[in-house]
Structure 1
Amino acid sequence: MILVTGATGTVGGHVVRLLTERGVPFRAMSRRERPGGVRADFDDPASLTRAVADVDTVFLVTVPPAPTADHDIALITAALAAGVRKIVKLSAIGSGERFDGATVGAWHLAAEEAIEASGLVWTMLRPPSFASNFLWYRALIQAGETIPNLVGASRQAVVDPRDVAAVAVAAMTSDAHDGQRYDLTGPELLTFADQAAILERVLERPVKITDTSALDQLPTGMITGIGWARAGGAAYITDHVPRVLGRPAGTFEQWARDHRERFAAMP
């Protein structure tokens, strides 16, 4: 039995789809009651105990309001008590790197270290920016408004979240990836402007961007990560996706073409 946390999210939703297609037993965890799932909250230890009961493997995704490892650690604690064997954690590229006197992805690093120290079998997945992040801006695109570019002219190997989900499922259903940290990149380095130009071509409508360095409203941990990316820290490509999946990583353009209709629909 696999527990999928973040089951309604960007990657978790694809994990649920893949496990369903393969007939792999799983339990989808979310904060709302859903058919066939389990309602649980990272701030409610009793609900986590119910969620991990009779579970062998956990796909761990946490998105706390402010960067903290507390939710990961709460799940790890419940998992250990329940006899869970393996955790596959969705982390982030660059976690543990030093930038401007701070640690990039410090909360992810703390969670990774807690998992390692727990004695559980583990795999860490560290993607960069998701291709699907542009869906946040559907309303702005439809209105012809500009999209804020927080990362300047820096380049990243933007990844298709479907690839991240496929690697997660591979790690959860095989021991071949135990103890591995995978930087799950796409196949090409793109600036934010490159992505906007590709999306503009696919949608056949303007996708306007404006550079901004106004990060004051963001938590300090996120500012560190964005600063690291702006300085070129994420400008590299790995072979981890094709090595695990046996096929090339998906391109941003292919993702955009596959999701063209979602940009036409109202958010």
Structure 2
Amino acid sequence: MILVTGATGTVGRHVVQLLQQGGHRARAMTRGRPGHPLPPDTDVVRADFDDPDSLRRALTGVHSVFLLTAPAAPTPDHDLALLAAARSAHVTSVVKLSAIGTGERFGTVTVGAWHQAAEDAVRASGMAWTVLRPSSFASNFLHWASLIRAGQPVPNLTGEGKQGIIDPRDIAAVAVAALTDPAHAGMTYTLTGPEPLHVPDQATRLAQVIGRPVDTTDLPPAVARQQLLASGMPSAAVEATIIGSAWARAGHNAVVTDDVEKVLGRAPATFLSWAQRHREAFIGTR
């Protein structure tokens, strides 16, 4: 049995589906919050990272875990709680979803400091482990779907900084490979798409798909910080977002690797192909 945390989210739902399609037993862990629906025959367990008893129930009979946490404010606490419960349940392996650039120094700060603490705990867990560090998700563009439908410009937090935008389905496919093949134990994979793109590049490709221009507007870090705080985002989450955006803006995430191809035996999907698959989300009238 493989436990999938974050099972109704952007990556987790694909992990569940791919495991099922491959004939593997998958248990989907969710806190019951709205997310992507799962097939009706999915083994679903309600659990919360802040409830140790629920984690113990979720881990009953489990041998491997896909560890994806998305706390409102950056903290490794949820990862640590799951790892402690997994050790008690004699889980043998864990695949941790982290983020590209984790642990890199940028000025006086550390990029992805909370992911680094969680990665360290995974490596010291005594379980077989694999760490996945994906670049920026193609699906992040869905945040701007309503603006694009209304003909308004997309905010650009990363300026001219290019990133190896990756399709979440490729992340999930690599995760499933790591969960089901011990050859990936002890590996840290940096997962990217096939080409470095900045936000205007993405907008141009999406414009090709929807048949009309998609404009962008630069959003400097100071302005982005003000807007994110005004939206109600926790201050710690705002600072993590600003650090990551400034790091990418400075060109540090202009990275393309062949890790997806090495694991899957095929090239990663392009942003254009992702946009074509999600065209309906962006169609609207001015």
TM-score scaled to structure 2, two decimals? 0.90
Give the aligned partner of residue 242 of structure 1. Answer: 261
Q: 1:187, 1:249 within 8 Å by CA — same for their partners in 2?
A: yes
Aligned equivalents of 1:69, 1:219: Cα separation in 2: 17
Give the aligned partner of residue 193 of structure 2. Answer: 186
Cα shift at 1:58? 0.4
Are 1:26 and 2:19 counterparts? no
Are 1:252 and 2:271 counterparts? yes
Matched position secondary structure for 2:134: coil
Match of 1:141 among 137, 148, 167: 148
Give the aligned partner of residue 53 of structure 2. Answer: 46
Are 1:264 and 2:283 counterparts? yes
Give the aligned partner of residue 232 of structure 2. Answer: none
Are 1:68 and 2:75 counterparts? yes
Aligned equivalents of 2:81, 2:266: Cα separation in 1: 36
Cα shift at 1:221? 2.4
Q: What do you get for the CA RMSD once the two structures are aligned?
A: 1.5
> Structure 2: where are the runs of 5+ without partners?
230-236
Are 1:81 and 2:88 counterparts? yes
Moved more, 126-135 or 207-216: 207-216
Aligned equivalents of 2:119, 2:64: Cα separation in 1: 16
Deviations 1:195-226 (A, max 9, x none): 00100111112322111022323532222222
Aligned equivalents of 1:221, 1:263: Cα separation in 2: 28
Structure 1 stretches of 4+ moved >6 Å: none
Cα shift at 1:109? 0.4
Aligned equivalents of 1:75, 1:228: Cα separation in 2: 29
Match of 2:98 among 91, 99, 113: 91
Matched position secondary structure for 2:170: helix
Cα shift at 1:261? 2.2
Residue type of the alignment partner of 1:135: L
TM-score scaled to structure 1, two decimals? 0.96
Are 1:7 and 2:7 counterparts? yes
Are 1:215 and 2:234 counterparts? no
Identity value in percent? 58
Aligned equivalents of 2:127, 2:14: Cα separation in 1: 24
Q: How does 1:101-120 map to 2 (within 5 A)?
A: 101-120=108-127
Matched position secondary structure for 2:240: helix
Cα shift at 1:5? 0.4
- When residues 251 and 99 of structure 1 are mapped into structure 2, their CA distance, relative to the original with a 3 A threshold, is same
> Structure 1: where are the runs of 5+ without partners?
none
